[in-house]
Structure 1
Amino acid sequence: MRAVTASPLPVILDGDPGLDDAIAWLLALASPEEVRVLGLTAVHGNVGLDRTTRNALVTLALAGEAGAGVPVYAGANRPLIRPAMTAAAVHGESGLPASGLPEPGRGAESEHAVDFISRAVRGQPGEVTLVATGPLTNVALAFRLAPDLPELLREVVWMGGSTGQGNRTPAAEFNALADPHAARIVLESGVRVRMFGLNVTMQAVATPERVERLRTLGNRAGRVSAELLTFYAGIYRERYGMTGGALHDPLAVAAVIRPGLCEMRPMNVQVETQEGLNFGRTVCDLYGVTGQAANAEVAVTVDDEAFFGLLLERLARLP
């Protein structure tokens, strides 16, 4: 079902904050002209569910008035089948390695994230965009419990996978590897998917100059974002020889706000769920050699200057 696009666009932010999820969610909360955040749904991933849920609440506190009244729902604490994994080596043990973070102003809702997703989508059929910046466990569970949901969603925007290299293994990106069975369910569900993988997010780098511009915004959101990205940069220098960390999750949110930021290409995308060297890989048919119908729009290039300009301008609005 496709309704006339609402303005601002109603969105659910599903993820595993994690420092770049938190920055992505701040970007969304600071963009009320384009998006209306219905709720934050936390999932296992970068750190455990208890911490991702708390970090969602901390992010709302960081956003000040922009986060007021936005509910938080805890979701799946592990993948559908395999044991849970984390990325604490990249995001720190807390997931938000910054000083002076505010305490959450309230707790999470008692309703499970999966139930909230179903309820919110049914309340606005054809209108809701689900922006997923972590493992797709919550989304897959919602689709399994309510098989009509894929038709009722406007789209799923996912930061995950890659047309090429991995980051957790040579073949697999972390969000795909953390629950490949869930990713497969979503990609095979018939829902409209826009995918922002490593191949494009690694083009959007928080260089030292860009981090300094965040720091000099003069507000807490800018200072915390700069501190988080400085921590992140150390990992990227050591592992990839890059000058700064890639802004993976913020790019997915930015592409909802400004769809023209990235060049998109329709592709058939499959997820490898067979154990082995390619476990968790998103196999993207770039050239249509299989003849299978496209099931995703995959980002291939980004205007990174325009993207960072948007991020800077919006975070400057926050306290």
Structure 2
Amino acid sequence: MKKVWLDTDIGGDIDDALCLAYLLRQPACEMVGISTVGGEVEQRAMIADSICKVAGRHIPIFAGADRQLLPSDLYPTPGGAVNLSIFPHDTHFRKNQAVDQLRAAIREHPHEISLVAIGHLTNIALLFSLDPEIPMLLKELSIMSGVFSEALERSLNMPQDNWNAWLDPHAAAIVYQANVQHVRTFGLNVTTKLVLEKQEKEDLFHTDVMKAVERFGSPWLENHPMTFHDPLVAACLFEPDLCDYQRGQIEVDFMHEEKLGMMSFRESVEGRHEIASAVDRTHFFEHYFSVVCG
């Protein structure tokens, strides 16, 4: 049984909700807590709480950092919040509560918590800066961020498409410089292979939990494909063989305006970081469906 804490910007791209649904249904997962990051963190916490309640689960949820580390005009809001009135949820959430709660949980369970970060890294950077011992007390840190493909970098709207690092590059730099024992990163080089067309799994949104996921993700799906970026991060906690990996060192650019948040990877057997380099698409979806729809 893994103790898992999920840090998420749920409420925009449907993949955060797809990831949460997986963790709630994964029998080997003990959800220690959930924290939200990004604009309107209280509403993001309400969305997470709605999905947990539909699943019949009572998970501690805390709203986190509402703004990036440095002043910025960027303030993403959760489009899925328009559907909050449909589902029961708590409304007591207050911003900037997550870091203290996450710190307490890691202190209470040293070397036991797997931290899954699928939003921009502001909460995690604040935590590491507040308590520099915390990185060494984590069991592992799994992150959805980066591109790690020259071809994709040329074809995508870079660096903005590297959203989780670009939105708060200083936070990303702090996190990747920290002394975490095991850091594994899943970039667009693998996650973009996990687009699912509706006809491939017509009954995906058949259960009550997945109906809630679909409803909160509906504003996103009106204009975007359904790509399982974040669910891959969670699934590989329990089925690491879904991906191949390379070991090396990641650096985040936080100095040059035209490259803010761009993440470079240098392969090295002595590196502290791992990146996913390939994914077995068929195996991933078979595993995801078996957990969420089984």
- TM (normalized to structure 2)? 0.88
> 1: CA distance between counterparts of 2:71 and 2:96?
25
Question: Which runs of structure 2 are paired with 1:109-124 in the superposition (5 Å)?
Answer: 112-124=97-109
> 1: CA distance between counterparts of 2:121 and 2:208?
31
Shift of 1:232: 4.1
Match of 1:253 among 230, 234, 259: 234
* Match status 1:35 vs 2:12: no
* Match status 1:314 vs 2:288: no
Shift of 1:98: 6.0
Match of 1:9 among 2, 8, 20: 2
> 2: CA distance between counterparts of 1:101 and 1:282?
39
Question: Which runs of structure 2 are paired with 1:55-66 in the superposition (5 Å)?
Answer: 55-63=47-55, 65=56
* Match status 1:48 vs 2:43: no
Q: Which amino acid aligns with 1:39?
A: G
Match of 1:263 in 2: 244
* Match status 1:279 vs 2:269: no
Unaligned segments of structure 1, at least 5 residues: 1-7, 237-243
Match of 2:275 among 298, 302, 317: 298
Q: Is the Cα–Cα contact under 8 Å of residues 84 and 178 in structure 1 kept in the other structure?
A: no
Q: Which amino acid aligns with 1:204?
A: L
Shift of 1:9: 0.6
Match of 1:194 in 2: 184
> 2: CA distance between counterparts of 1:193 and 1:57?
27
Q: Is the Cα–Cα contact under 8 Å of residues 80 and 218 in structure 2 kept in the other structure?
A: no
Q: Which amino acid aligns with 1:37?
A: M
Shift of 1:314: 2.2
Shift of 1:99: 8.8
**CA offsets per residue over residues 34-92 of structure 1, 9 Å max, x none?**
21000111111xx53232122121221232x2x22x1111111111114163555xxxx
> 1: CA distance between counterparts of 2:40 and 2:91?
19
3-state SS in 1 of match to 2:7: strand
* Match status 1:140 vs 2:125: yes
- TM (normalized to structure 1)? 0.81
Q: Is the Cα–Cα contact under 8 Å of residues 13 and 40 in structure 1 kept in the other structure?
A: yes
Q: Is the Cα–Cα contact under 8 Å of residues 51 and 94 in structure 1 kept in the other structure?
A: no
Shift of 1:271: 0.6
Q: Which amino acid aligns with 1:247?
A: F
Deviation larger for 110-119 or 276-285: 110-119
> 1: CA distance between counterparts of 2:40 and 2:94?
18
Match of 1:20 among 9, 15, 23: 15
Q: Which amino acid aligns with 2:109?
A: Q
| Sequence identity (%) | 29
Count of residue pairs the alignment pairs up? 287
Shift of 1:284: 1.7
Match of 1:3 in 2: none
RMSD: 2.6
Q: 1:50 to 1:105 in 2, by over 3 A?
A: closer
* Match status 1:78 vs 2:67: yes
> 2: CA distance between counterparts of 1:39 and 1:55?
14
Q: 1:16 to 1:111 in 2, by over 3 A?
A: closer
Q: 1:38 to 1:125 in 2, by over 3 A?
A: same
Q: Which amino acid aligns with 1:222?
A: M
> 1: CA distance between counterparts of 2:256 and 2:65?
22
Match of 1:235 among 209, 223, 233: 223
Match of 1:103 in 2: 88
> 1: CA distance between counterparts of 2:235 and 2:7?
15
